[in-house]
Structure 1
Amino acid sequence: MKPMVTSILFATALTRNSTQALKYTASLAQATGAEIHVLHVNEPISDDARITFEMFILNEETRKTAERRRHEMVRQLLAERQARFWAQFEGEDAGIRDLVTSVEVTDGHPAEVILRRSEQMGCDLIVLGAHDHGISHTFLGTVAKRVLRRSRIPTLIVPYSEQT
């Protein structure tokens, strides 16, 4: 019996390689009819940043507003990139966008949230993009390594490509 892919979690860090990883996700979803769940996880604000935030923004309500605004800005960026990506598709391929059943932006430690949400949503596959090569990046990146080590379902890491 062949394993079926019916639900794909596409986890995006909103990096340059995210577009390449989404291309693979869309292609797999089109071939299998799987639904696509898009997830972006905002890393928690460091303790140093939080202390600085509290020093310069004394009003608690203003701090909460700033945190909400951070979420809104990421949601807006994700929506813009998604719109630009899906606008490339024409004709029959335009229907692939209908396979996206959820788009979520949340806070937390990315690997843990990716693994938890993939399980909660009953996903059969996780797709992530690898970091580009360079002095400041490892090939896979910390999040991808953590997801690969702990995932109970197949995980596809799409290599970085200059052709995104």
Structure 2
Amino acid sequence: MKQKITQILFATALTRHSSYALTHAASLAEATGAKLHVLHVAEPLSDDALITMRMFMQDAGSRAEALKARHDHMKAVLTERQKEFWATLPEEDRGIQDQIESIEIIDGHPAEVILRRARELKCDLIVLGAHEHGFSQTFLGTVAKRVLRRADIPTLVVPYRDD
């Protein structure tokens, strides 16, 4: 029996490489007719960062504004990356954009949020990019490893490419 893909969750770290992974997610959505959900997870600030904010921003309203500005910045980056991605595609391929069902930024620990949203959205596939090769990073990255270990649906990890 064939497993039908109707909902795809694309998790992005907002890196430049993410557009390469999005190419694969969009291609799969087009080939299967699936809806595409784009998700970025904003990692919580460290305890040190929160303490620093409290020390230098004693007004709770100012701290709330700073946290909102952080979230707004992520939204702006996500919007810009989406715009850049769709602009690079040939005109005939831009219709895939209509298959995007949701674009979200959610605060939390990335692997946990990705897995939770995949369940909530009843996704059949998770697509995310691997980290670039680096001195302190393993090939897949911590988030991809955690998602792969705990996912109960197929998960595609798109390798990093320099181009």
User: TM-score of the superposition, structure 2-length normalised?
Assistant: 0.98
3-state SS in 2 of match to 1:44: coil
Q: Which residue of 2 aligns with 1:155?
A: 155
Equivalent in the alignment of 1:108: 108
Inter-partner Cα distance in structure 2 for 1:137 and 1:16:
17
**1:13 maps to what in 2?**
13
Cα distance, 1:90 vs structure 2: 3.0
Following superposition, the deviation at residue 136 of structure 1 comes to 1.9
Displacement of 1:93: 1.1
Q: How many residues align?
A: 163
Determine helix, strand or coil for the equivalent of 1:122. Answer: coil
**Structure 1 residue 119 displacement after superposition:** 0.1
CA distance in 2, matches of 1:94, 1:21: 16
Rounded Cα–Cα distance in structure 1 between residues aligned with 2:66 and 2:147: 30
Deviates more, 1:23-32 or 1:85-94: 85-94
Q: Distance in 2 between matches of 1:93 and 1:160?
A: 23
TM-score, with length taken from structure 1: 0.97
Q: What does 1:1-80 align with in structure 2 at a 5 Å threshold?
A: 1-80=1-80
1:85 corresponds in structure 2 to: 85
Q: Tell me, what secondary structure is at the counterpart of 2:152?
A: coil
SS at match of 2:9: strand
Q: Which residue of 2 aligns with 1:142?
A: 142
Structure 1 runs of 4+ with >6 Å offset: none
Q: Shift of residue 17 of structure 1?
A: 1.8
One-letter identity of the residue aligned with 1:118: A
Separation (CA, whole Å) in 2 of partners of 1:80 and 1:133:
25
Q: Map Cα deviations across residues 53-86 of structure 1 (whole Å, 9 max, x no partner).
A: 1000010000001101111000000000000101
Residue segments in structure 1 that go unaligned for 5+ positions in a row:
none
Deviations along 1:134-154, one digit per CA (max 9) or x if unpaired, are 102110000000000000000
Displacement of 1:24 after TM fit?
0.2
Deviation at 1:159, TM superposition (A): 0.2
Q: Percent identity?
A: 61
